[in-house]
Structure 1
Amino acid sequence: MNKIDIRTVEVTQYVQPLREGGSMPAIVKADDGFLYVLKFRGAGQGKMALIAEFIGGELARAIGLNVPELVFMNLDDTFSKTEPDEEIQDLLKFSVGLNLGLHFLSSAITFDPIVTPVDELTASKVVLLDSIISNIDRTDKNTNLLHWNNELWIIDNGASFYFHHNWDTWKNHLTRTFPLIKDHVLLKKAGKLAEAAELINQLLTKEKLDDIISNIPEDWLSVESEKMSPKEMRAAYVEFLTTRLSKMDQLVKEASDAR
């Protein structure tokens, strides 16, 4: 198994905000010379959204979907001091430390389900991925998909794993499926769910899950008010994903029925 290797880079320039949704991501430049879309730890859903973004992105990559490179991005305190916009200034101030960046896909366009082609197997893999990670935010209104170089690219998984916003009740989610899949933007195109399920089960081994979860920065899992330790949280993410994969037949049936 090829282990994932996540690079850490330094933010060197704040280029411009992307005023989309409540998280206020931004295009930034890093010390490797590349542009990234920076997701801030100081935004609305905080570090939990970064964890969801990271796990969802690396799971997507593991099952053969296109995902921009994910990097950990260090942001120092100098940027907030020179930012004139008060809202952005606060966001930068509360995001000092380790954040998450996605390689910026220049000239990519938002996926349009009416005009953008996507093959049935790819659509099926995306649908089942979002069932597994309980992603509520891949709909006609907000596709969170890009079309770049004639290919479909997966972005914005931050609304997944919503159980982790209340760790006291996380085990309740182990017995559930994902009825909200009925609203998925690619559901109508997902004509190869059984084939996709077989591939996903082959690729998302326990070793792969452990590898992805072990790469979550300790800092993101450390919450003063939380009873669970980072080690316990890692184990919970693995248990959640393992349980979801064990229910693959139910997820496939749920998506098929919704179609």
Structure 2
Amino acid sequence: MHEPVLLKEVLQYLEIKQNGRYVDGTLGLGGHAEAILRQLGPKGEVLGLDVDAETLAQAEDRLQPFEDQTITRRVNFRGLQGVLQELGWTGVDGMLFDLGVSSVQLNDPKRGISFQSEGPLDMRLDTEAPHNALTLLKQMKEDELAEVFYEFGVRRNPRRISRYLLHDVREGKITTTTDLAGFCDRVVGRRGRIHPATKIFLALRSLVNNEQQVLKDLLQVAPLFLNQGGRLAIISFHSVEDRIVKNEFRSWSQDGKETSFCFARATRKPIQPSAEEVQANPRSRSAKLRVLERIQ
């Protein structure tokens, strides 16, 4: 099992307090949470959130030695405020949100997230969500899909790609991940070393899981639950997410969003993995860590 992405840097920037309260809002397999728990004293606590039942169960097994200090909930991190209120936590000393997809999700063909193996065109992180990628594509309009593709870096002929893709979906020619990957090879075309399906799959996964809006919603409320000196750490994996985090952190640090709190960016530039980490875990290559601190 790979060490969690940017683990050393996350622990450094969270500045773990012995008896603090921490939130891991994307618990995944529990690697970051376990490392935080190992630095806590006996009164410290970690709340772990994850929308994926399968990875949550694995994380709970991993964190069993710390069961008296760990609380878990199966919920999207958009529900952070409700969970904190339920627990009576008025403030926390640190929060972490790792926006990447776990290896369990990525490597399971049934989840339909990767084009490396054949599976249904699903892409849901929450398997109980109503729409998978295929059902969503059947409902979409060409201009809507083209706009999404353009935002995720498909700059050459996004409208034409959208038109052909929606046609093939409605004709029943695309129902699996390998069908879509083959379509990308034919229609998008290869340029450089990156597979032409990479940006298409990323855009569709984000769309299916409403990832941008969920992140924006989180960033409107999460800083309000930081204790003084508390820090909010977010790891993003592509430019669309990183831009959202960068802009929201700037906004909070400039005027506190008309609250009585004051915030500062603990990282002026994003922290990225070392060459050694990228070599050990190539998926960490695009990770960027940004940290916001409540200073008053």
Does TM, normalized by the shorter one, top 0.5?
no
TM-score by length of 2: 0.24
More relative contact order, 1 or 2 (CA 8 Å, 6+ apart): 1
- Highest Rg: 1 or 2? 2
